[in-house]
Amino acid sequence: MTQPRWLDQTEMAAWRAFLTTSHLLERRIEEQLKASAGLTHPQYEILVRLAGATGRRLRMTELAKGVVASKSALTYQVGRLEEVGLVERTTCPSDDRGVLAVLTPAGARLLEKVAPGHLEIVREYLIDRLSREELRAMTSAMRKTEEALRSG
């Protein structure tokens, strides 16, 4: 442990901008999804992950890691999605402890319907405002942090 190292003005500005913007964007996305499909952002992300998985199914634990949610939060949200027929649960054939969340055809249809409006928000407020250079730098930066956090 060395001396406490504060952030200089530039670093603090960077951190504050990141923190504030991620929260604001999260809010905007939540609002759009709720209005257009009655989905929360976590629910939407679950559908996206399942749609991208082979067989449109994933183990609960994998899914939780993918969407960055706690196990119990995922159990809860998959329960909601199952109630409305967007996802089904199957016991994992290779591991009786396991549960597979499976995207239903209705889930896939809803996702196709909702995705454009969602991505339009992502474009409008983030992607389309960034230069190629900024996009590249941000991706690089985020990946470094992600990698570090996934390891620890």
Q: Could you tell which of DNA, a second copy, none binds residue 83, using a CB distance below 5 to 8 A set by kind?
A: none
DSSP label of 94? T
Helix (H) or strand (E) holding 40, with range, is none
As a whole number of angstroms, the distance between CA 60 and CA 55 comes to 14
Which residue, 94, 119, 91, is CA-closest to 33?
119
Question: If we measure between CA atoms, which residue out of 72, 79, 68 comes closest to residue 42?
Answer: 68
Residues 113-142 that bind DNA (CB under 7 A): none
Q: How far is the CB of 82 from a second copy (least distance, A)?
A: 23
The reply on whether position 28 binds DNA by CB under 7 A is no
What mask of x and - would describe binding to DNA in positions 59 to 98, judged by CB under 7 A?
A: xxx--x----xxxxxxxxxxxx--------x--x--xxxx
Choose among a second copy, DNA, none what residue 116 binds, the Cβ cut-off being 5 to 8 Å by kind.
a second copy
- The DSSP 8-state label assigned to residue 6 in this structure reads -
**Where along the sequence are the contacts to DNA (CB under 7 A)?**
27, 30-31, 34, 40, 42, 59-61, 64, 69-80, 89, 92, 95-99
